[in-house]
A = this chain, B = another copy of it.
Amino acid sequence: MAQVAIIGVGQTPVGEHWDTSLRALAGDAIQAALADAGLRSVDALIVGNAYAPTISSQSQLGALIADYAGLTGIEALTVEAGDASGGAALRAGYLAVASGEVETALVVGVEKSTDMIGTARTRARSVSLDADYEAVHGATLAAGAALLMRRYMFEYGLELSAFEGFSINAHANGKNNANAMFRNQIKPGAFARAPMIADPVTLFDGAPDADGAAAVVLTRLERALDLVPQPVRIAASAAATDTLALHERADLLMLQAVAASTGKAYAQANTSPANIDLFELHDAFTILCALSLESAGFASRGEGWRLAAEGHINPQGRIPISTFGGLKSRGNPVGAAGVYQAVEAVLQLRGAAGANQIENARTAMIQSLGGLGSTAFTHILTIG
Contact = CB atoms under 8 A, between A and B. Distances in A.
Contacts of A374: 60, 63-64
Interface in A87-113: 88, 91-92, 95-96, 98-102
Interface in A353-380: 370-371, 374-375
A155 interface: no
A119 to B, nearest CB: 15
Interface stretch (A144-152, A235-243, A272-280, A325-333): A235-243
A135 interface: yes
A75 B241 contact: yes
A131 interface: yes
Interface string A60-92: 111110110000111111111110000010011
Given A95-B102, A101-B98, A248-B67, A59 B80 contact: yes
Interface string A259-288: 011000000000000000000000000000
B50 A59 contact: yes
Contacts of A230: none
A188 interface: no
Contacts of A80: 53, 59-61, 77-80
Nearest to A136: B57
Given A54-B53, A127-B57, A62 B74 contact: no
A241 B100 contact: no
Contacts of A96: 95, 99
B100 A60 contact: no
B81 A241 contact: no
Contact of A53 (B127, B244, B257): B127
A58 B75 CA distance: 26
A1 interface: yes
Contact of A67 (B50, B54, B244): B244
Contacts of A77: 79-81, 88, 91-92, 239, 375
B95 A101 contact: yes
B95 A58 contact: no
Given A59-B127, A80-B59, A75 B240 contact: yes
Nearest to A74: B241
A67 B127 contact: no
A21 interface: yes
A19 interface: no
A252 B126 CA distance: 39
A310 interface: no
A128 B239 contact: no
A256 interface: yes
Contacts of A88: 62, 77
A21 B136 CA distance: 14
21 contacts: A51-B53, A53-B127, A56-B131, A57-B131, A58-B127, A59-B82, A60-B375, A63-B82, A63-B242, A63-B243, A64-B130, A73-B256, A73-B257, A76-B81, A77-B80, A77-B88, A77-B92, A78-B80, A95-B101, A98-B100, A101-B237
